[in-house]
């Protein structure tokens, strides 16, 4: 019964302050949340448009479509060695060792394409070796660097105590490159 018997003075205060409190809640709580809600709706619409664009985009070409494999021919190893020498010369490096027909050349692999590892060593400055790797990447055929080891190059004229040595700035890179050959073997020369 005490709830029903509120003094008129308290009723007037409640009649004024309750709407003001409701207005404050709506201004400081609901209004900012409504702004974030509209931002989220715009973000969702933008993401849906981007998703529709991505779904409409054709799939990327297959890995082998951009860089063709070479056919496994008798002359392929010598052609590959010639390409390596041209790339090394163009980058300013010296190709010191190249084994382009290793004995473990992917025996027993089946399928349309097989990986053939080749081991090579090049000598040059670091930037020249980096240039060689860049040119190898853009060589126009499918190649993969499977392993690389860098070490200081000791000049051939260096003798112990002569002061020449690893501080000369040369780098020796031992690189394993996998080249990919299609298994259709044709013996054209």
Helices (H), 57-161: 63-66, 76-91, 126-137
Q: Please tell me the class of the 66-182 domain.
A: alpha beta
* Residue 186, burial from CB neighbour count under 10 angstroms (0-12, 13-18, 19+): exposed
Q: How many CB atoms lie within 10 A of CB 175?
A: 21
Helices (H), the chain: 8-25, 31-56, 63-66, 76-91, 126-137
By DSSP bridging, strand 70-71 and strand 171-182 are parallel
How much is the average pLDDT of 152-177? 68
Q: What is the mean pLDDT of the chain?
A: 78
The structure tokens 């003001």 sit at 20
pTM given for the model: 0.53
How much is the average pLDDT of 142-169? 69
Would the pLDDT of 152 be above 80?
yes
**Residue 65 neighbours by CB under 8 Å, 6+ apart:** none
Q: How far is 125 from 108, CA to CA, in rounded Å?
A: 39
What is the sign, positive or negative, of the torsion defined by CA atoms of 29, 35, 40, 41?
positive
If pLDDT is split at 50, 70 and 90, which confidence band does 30 have?
confident
Half-sphere exposure (Cβ direction) of 81: Cα atoms closer than 13 Å? 13
Would the pLDDT of 31 be above 90?
no
Would the pLDDT of 104 be above 60?
no
Contact 104/80 with Cβ under 8 angstroms?
A: no
If pLDDT is split at 50, 70 and 90, which confidence band does 106 have?
very low
pLDDT tens column, 43-99: 999 999 999 988 887 765 554 444 555 666 777 888 889 999 999 999 999 999 998
User: What percent of the chain stands above pLDDT 90?
Assistant: 31
Residue 187 has a pLDDT of 45
How much is the average pLDDT of 104-130? 79
């Amino acid at each position: 019964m005490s709830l029903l018997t509120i003094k008129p003075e308290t009723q007037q205060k409640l009649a004024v302050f309750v709407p003001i409190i409701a207005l404050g809640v709506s201004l400081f709580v609901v209004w900012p949340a409504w702004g974030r809600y509209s931002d989220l709706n715009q973000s969702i619409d933008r993401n849906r448009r981007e998703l529709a664009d991505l779904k409409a985009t054709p799939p990327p070409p297959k890995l082998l479509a951009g860089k063709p494999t070479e056919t496994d021919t008798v002359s392929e190893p010598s052609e590959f060695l010639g390409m390596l020498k041209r790339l090394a010369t163009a980058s300013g490096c010296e190709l010191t060792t190249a084994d382009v027909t290793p004995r473990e050349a992917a025996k027993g692999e089946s399928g349309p394409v097989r990986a053939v590892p080749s081991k090579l060593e090049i000598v040059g400055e670091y930037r020249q070796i980096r240039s060689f790797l860049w040119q190898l990447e853009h060589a126009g055929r499918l190649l993969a660097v499977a392993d690389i080891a860098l070490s200081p190059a000791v000049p051939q004229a260096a003798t112990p105590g002569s002061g020449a040595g690893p501080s000369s700035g040369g780098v020796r890179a031992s690189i394993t490159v996998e080249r990919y050959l299609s298994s259709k073997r044709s013996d054209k020369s």
